[in-house]
């Protein structure tokens, strides 16, 4: 059963969540039966300290700029897990938690950040033992000769046990065709999902179209990842807010004129760069601006505290990123 989250152009609108009625269980090679995290009473002995930590993690989630629909979906997911815990306490039938996910979106839209938060949240909720996140890509999984790939993939899986294995640009595992060793990595991952169903969450991430293609190359994968989340590009106002927050964290302040210059430049980038709507580009712009301010101030023999903090319009780096 795939939970599909679709984002509207306006951040304020609620996501469209399509949850098909699950078919009657049947035995097949693609069945997800038995690969979920089964809720047990000893898994969920929540204390007040645990609840405080969960509240802290959720507060951090809410502090993120943008990602409104992602935030709401994570809260829905938390509610589902908590209700399953209550059903166990009342000796009612509970659903196995199949929490493997597909994150789709452009670079810098928060996929890795949310994956780290999800790991911590699952740990505090008793779903995972450790909640750490092991981040890897094709080079960390695929070897150079027969047998090497399975070994490398198992090593990454072993590191991730008790937490989350996050694979960025996961579609690259299927790009080499039938004879490529990437297929061996996929097979090893599928086996690990079954062998470690109580102690591992797998998150595959990448561009939207490429991830759709990747799932089509292996129909068995789609059935094993019931949660699909799309990460939208940031709006102009969100990018500006991210930029201001990055400057503030570094103890810099933009003048009113510099803030307008930053807005104008971001607007230009949104129209000229194919993947401009992300935080990674803003971070690069902030770092270049700080360096340009340093070069400007270096021309003077001394600088006041205010000068060291202040970002002027001429500091906004107008070079193409």
Contact predicate 193/1, CB 8 Å: no
- The rounded mean pLDDT for the chain is 83
Q: Is the pLDDT of residue 129 over 80?
A: yes
List the chain domain ranges. 3-231, 236-315
User: How far apart are alpha carbons 107 and 68 in whole angstroms?
Assistant: 18
DSSP annotation of 39: -
Contact predicate 65/242, CB 8 Å: yes
CATH class, range 3-231 = alpha beta
User: How far apart are alpha carbons 43 and 151 in whole angstroms?
Assistant: 31
Stretch (H or E) spanning 231: strand 227-231
CATH number of 236-315: 1.10.8.60
- Residue range 48-75: average pLDDT? 90
Least confident range from 25-29, 159-163, 167-171, 185-189: namely: 25-29
pLDDT tens profile 251-263: 999 999 999 999 9
Q: What single string gives the DSSP state of each residue in 110-151? A: SHHHHHHHHHHHHHHTTSSSS--EEEE-HHHH--SSTTHHHH
Question: In angstroms, what CA-CA distances link 112 with 73, 102, 103, 229, 267?
Answer: 16, 12, 9, 13, 25
What predicted TM-score, i.e. pTM, was given to this entire model?
0.78
Task: Report residue 48's pLDDT band, with 50, 70 and 90 as the boundaries.
Answer: confident
Q: Is the pLDDT of residue 34 over 60?
A: no
Q: Is the pLDDT of residue 68 over 80?
A: yes
Question: In angstroms, what CA-CA distances link 247 with 73, 144, 169, 309, 316?
Answer: 29, 44, 30, 9, 12
Stretch (H or E) spanning 229: strand 227-231
């Amino acid at each position: 059963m795939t939970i599909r989250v679709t984002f509207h152009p306006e951040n304020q609108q609620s996501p469209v969540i399509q949850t098909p009625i699950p078919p009657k269980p049947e035995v097949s090679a693609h069945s997800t039966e038995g690969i979920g995290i089964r809720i047990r009473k000893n898994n969920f002995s929540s204390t007040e300290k645990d609840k405080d930590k969960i509240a802290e993690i959720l507060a951090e989630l809410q502090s993120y700029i943008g990602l409104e629909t992602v935030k709401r979906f994570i809260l829905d997911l938390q509610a589902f897990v908590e209700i399953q815990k209550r059903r166990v306490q009342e000796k009612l039938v509970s659903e196995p938690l199949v929490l493997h996910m597909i994150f789709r979106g452009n670079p810098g839209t928060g996929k890795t950040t949310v994956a780290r938060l999800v790991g911590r949240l699952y740990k505090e909720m008793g779903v995972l033992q450790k909640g750490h996140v092991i981040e890897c890509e094709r080079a960390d999984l695929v070897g150079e000769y027969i047998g090497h790939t399975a070994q490398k993939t198992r090593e990454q899986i072993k590191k991730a046990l008790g937490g989350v294995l996050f694979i960025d640009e996961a579609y690259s595992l299927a790009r080499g065709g039938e004879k490529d060793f990437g297929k061996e990595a996929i097979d090893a991952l599928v086996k690990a999902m079954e062998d470690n169903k109580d102690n591992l969450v797998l998150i595959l991430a990448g561009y939207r179209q490429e991830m759709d293609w990747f799932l089509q190359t292996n129909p068995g994968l789609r059935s094993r990842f019931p949660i699909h989340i799309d990460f939208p590009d940031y709006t102009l106002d969100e990018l500006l807010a991210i930029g201001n927050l990055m400057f503030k964290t570094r103890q810099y302040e933009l003048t009113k004129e510099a803030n307008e210059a930053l807005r104008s430049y971001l607007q230009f980038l949104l129209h000229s760069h194919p993947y401009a709507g992300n935080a990674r580009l803003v971070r690069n712009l902030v770092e270049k601006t700080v360096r340009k301010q340093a070069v400007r101030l270096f021309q003077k023999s001394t600088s006041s505290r205010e000068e060291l903090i202040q970002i002027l319009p001429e500091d906004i780096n107008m070079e193409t990123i």
